């Protein structure tokens, strides 16, 4: 039975305990099957929830000048353009299925860009995802075929920074 599966923890909290749970190998040396299933489905649930929530047909395309998020991005990356380049590159270079994320380290307060394979969630590393791009082939193949680069460029046109600012305010308030 996985820690926290009694209804008292959030999905985010359970994802954070996952590395410890996964490290507990069964008799065959494999991690517990329920932990593996939670990693896939819990991670997939959180990742897609955020992905759909941070896109919109009439988005705010850049952070509000002078906002806490804008300042944090400048501090951590140098500029908005520098962040975009790093995020784009991370998304383009994921091998196989996975995601690129903008994450907040709650301990240091720093923002960074990370890659994750399959449906692994940054919560597993104790990091808080603020923005993510799905680069599994199913995210772009029907419209663009193999052209992941094209999809990433187009995705920036629907990323809604208003939503990211809201999330940033929520997670930094505590």
- What residues line the site for another protein (CB under 8 A)? 40, 95-98, 117-119, 136-138, 141-142, 145-146
Q: In terms of CB distance, is 8 or 28 closer to another protein?
A: 28
Radius of gyration from C-alpha coordinates of the chain? 17
Instruction: Kindly state the smallest distance separating residue 133's Cβ from another protein, in Å.
Output: 16
Question: Which residue is listed with tokens 């990742």?
Answer: 47
Which C-beta is closer to another protein: that of 135 or that of 159? 135
3-state secondary structure of 28: coil
C-alpha triplet 11, 4, 102: angle, nearest 5°: 30
Nearest residue (CB) to another protein, 65 versus 138: 138
Residue 9, classed as helix, strand or coil, is: coil
**CB closer to another protein, 65 vs 96:** 96
The distance of closest approach from Cβ of residue 103 to another protein in the complex, given in angstroms and rounded to an integer, is: 20
Tell which residue, 78, 82, 80, 73, has the closest CA to residue 130. Answer: 73
Token pair in block for residue 162: 């208003």
Min. distance of Cβ 154 from another protein in angstroms?
18
- Cβ-contact 60, 161 below 8 angstroms: yes
Residue 25 CB, nearest approach to another protein (Å): 18
To the nearest whole angstrom, how small is the minimum distance from the Cβ of residue 112 to another protein? 20
Residue 25 backbone zone (phi > 0: left; psi -120 to 50: alpha; other: beta): beta
Of residues 80 and 136, the one with the C-beta less far from another protein: 136
Which are the contacts of 128, defined by CB distance < 8 A and separation ≥ 6?
A: 103, 104, 105, 106, 122, 171
Tell me whether residue 78 or residue 117 sits nearer to another protein (CB atom). Answer: 117
Shortest reach from residue 145's CB to another protein, in Å:
6
């Amino acid at each position: 039975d996985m820690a926290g599966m009694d209804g008292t923890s959030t999905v985010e909290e359970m994802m954070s305990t996952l590395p410890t749970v996964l490290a507990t190998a069964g008799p065959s040396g494999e991690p517990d099957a329920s932990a593996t299933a939670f990693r896939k489905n819990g991670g997939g649930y959180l990742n897609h929830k955020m992905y759909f929530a941070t896109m919109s047909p009439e988005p705010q395309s850049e952070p509000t000048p002078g906002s806490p998020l804008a300042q944090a991005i400048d501090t951590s990356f140098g500029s908005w353009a520098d962040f975009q380049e790093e995020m784009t590159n991370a998304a383009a270079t994921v091998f196989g299925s996975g995601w690129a994320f903008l994450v907040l380290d709650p301990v240091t307060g720093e923002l960074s860009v990370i890659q994750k394979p399959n449906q692994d969630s940054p919560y597993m590393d104790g990091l808080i995802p603020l923005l993510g791009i799905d680069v599994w082939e199913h995210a772009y193949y029907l419209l663009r075929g193999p052209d992941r680069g094209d999809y990433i460029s187009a995705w920036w046109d629907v990323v809604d920074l208003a939503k990211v600012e809201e999330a940033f305010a929520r997670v930094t308030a505590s």
